[in-house]
Amino acid sequence: MHNQVVIIGGGPSGTLLALILSKANIDVLVLERMTKEYVLSRIRAGVLEWNTVDMLMKNGVGKRMSAEGQVHEGTFLSSSNKQFRIDFKNTINKQVMVYGQTEVTFDLYKELEKHKVKIIHEVNDVEIKDLTKETSFVSFKDKDGKPNIVKSKFIIGCDGFHGVSRSHIPTKKLKIFEKVYPFGWLGVLSETPPVSHELIYANHSRGFALASMRNENLSRYYIQVPNSDKIENWSDDNFWEELKLRLPTEASDTLITGPSIEKSIAPLRSFVSEPMRWGNLFLAGDASHIVPPTGAKGLNLAVSDIHYLSEGLITFFKNNDDQLLNTYSEKALLRVWKGIRFSWWMTTLMHNFPNQDEFDRKIQLAELEYLSNSIEAQKSFSENYVGLPY
């Protein structure tokens, strides 16, 4: 087999890149470790920046999102059970789209099928060779264990945090920046009407809570839990009880509870590996960087990487010009670090840290009080939350 581009990983970054390249008549192959059903059943992000919305629309995958997604012009933050609103529309005249990553991925797979893009599922033992030669190779085993080898000009690592691509950059060339937080998020999906028409990010002395949603009868809630906690420790009743204690009073008074249809714990981490390119290998999305979900930035950063990378690849194949590819890592990382900063800031502001003393707590409360009253602070929040320009 021979392709111009081989993409490892069929998550949102891999499939979006595959779609953009195939629309530009670039020959592309996607290799995905899991089944399509598994990939499409993962519950993850919920909030899309307007840049992401534009990218999806521009590439023909925005129709169902426009019909079924919810446009949000603001969000609530809460401090000690009292909420205040940050208005994106009034502060910076922008908005976000609430539309699940599960739906985005479904739409992308549908469009890829329409364009007959090659995706091989259930691949194993992916290995990359000759990254610094003119042409590179990817070897893998298909679902029947049969070995395959593919020749390719470029290989794109879109295989998430636990993927294999990043490890092909020599350790002495790779710089890792990492912060692991001493807590995780316990998330619950339930077929109940959302407690609020906009998201609520709640700071509480018992720990952080988030009220989010997927549609008018599907709610997504999270609470901060210690890293050592286990799903088995949380019955639905315990979860609802704890959530009510942390949400602002006007929300907890009206919260409608029901059985959970999904429950999981996600650890929180900030992580960046630099550079995002080695020879013919380019990394994008979670393969190169991870943010704690507090700022809703992970999926959106993956999409901005794909914006820069797809421009570089198209310019290379159309005009034989590698200038944009050569600046990809530098350009993408500039935006990534701003997302890393905002996610870290919002995580630090909203969570209860195990070693937090009274001084730290007072600082958090003062910052939330400032944010609730200062239009300038709200502007800065809005600008980052709806997404910085590409």
Contacts with ligand PHB by CB under 6 A lie at 45-47, 199, 212, 220, 293-294, 296
Q: Hey, which residues between 172 and 191 contact ligand RFL (CB under 6 A)?
A: 187
When CB distances are held under 5 to 8 angstroms depending on the partner's kind, the choice from ligand RFL, ligand PHB, none that residue 299 binds is ligand RFL
> Judging by DSSP bridges, how do beta strands 136-141 and 124-129 pair with one another?
antiparallel
Q: Of 83-91, 172-180, 199-207, 295-303, which part binds ligand RFL (CB under 6 A)?
A: 295-303
Query: Is residue 72 annotated as part of the catalytic site, yes or no?
Result: yes
81 vs 348, beta carbon nearer ligand RFL: 348
Nearest distance from residue 211's CB to ligand RFL, in Å? 13
When CB distances are held under 5 to 8 angstroms depending on the partner's kind, the choice from ligand PHB, ligand RFL, none that residue 32 binds is ligand RFL
- Pick from 7, 126, 202, 340 the residue near ligand RFL by CB under 6 A: 126
Distance CA(20)–CA(26), nearest Å, equals: 9
One-letter amino acid at 132 equals T
Distance CA(196)–CA(250), nearest Å, equals: 9
Q: Which of 222, 248, 293, 331 is catalytic?
A: 293
Q: What crossing angle do the helices spanning 323-350 and 298-319 adopt, rounded to 10°?
A: 180
**Helix or strand or coil: residue 43?**
coil
Nearest distance from residue 334's CB to ligand RFL, in Å? 18
When CB distances are held under 5 to 8 angstroms depending on the partner's kind, the choice from ligand RFL, ligand PHB, none that residue 252 binds is none
Judge residue 318's burial from the number of C-beta atoms within 10 Å of its C-beta, 0-12 exposed, 13-18 middle, 19 or more buried.
Answer: exposed
How many of the chain's residues bind ligand RFL (CB under 6 A)? 36
Query: Is residue 38 annotated as part of the catalytic site, yes or no?
Result: no
Query: Is residue 293 annotated as part of the catalytic site, yes or no?
Result: yes
Judge residue 146's burial from the number of C-beta atoms within 10 Å of its C-beta, 0-12 exposed, 13-18 middle, 19 or more buried.
Answer: exposed
Distance CA(380)–CA(261), nearest Å, equals: 36
Q: Of 54-62, 159-167, 252-260, 365-373, which part binds ligand RFL (CB under 6 A)?
A: 159-167
Nearest distance from residue 346's CB to ligand RFL, in Å? 12
- Pick from 286, 316, 325, 378 the residue near ligand RFL by CB under 6 A: 286
Query: Is residue 162 annotated as part of the catalytic site, yes or no?
Result: no
Query: Is residue 318 annotated as part of the catalytic site, yes or no?
Result: no
Contact between residue 363 and residue 350 where contact means Cβ atoms under 8 Å apart:
no
- Pick from 44, 94, 263, 379 the residue near ligand RFL by CB under 6 A: 44
Contact between residue 119 and residue 157 where contact means Cβ atoms under 8 Å apart:
no
When CB distances are held under 5 to 8 angstroms depending on the partner's kind, the choice from ligand PHB, ligand RFL, none that residue 126 binds is ligand RFL
Contact between residue 119 and residue 28 where contact means Cβ atoms under 8 Å apart:
no
Q: Identify which of 179, 209, 181 has the alpha carbon closest to the alpha carbon of residue 196.
A: 209
Determine if 46 is a binding residue for ligand RFL (CB under 6 A).
yes
Q: Identify which of 104, 109, 129, 125 has the alpha carbon closest to the alpha carbon of residue 49.
A: 104
DSSP label at 286? Answer: G
Distance CA(364)–CA(371), nearest Å, equals: 11
Determine if 102 is a binding residue for ligand RFL (CB under 6 A).
no
Catalytic residues: 72, 201, 293, 297, 385
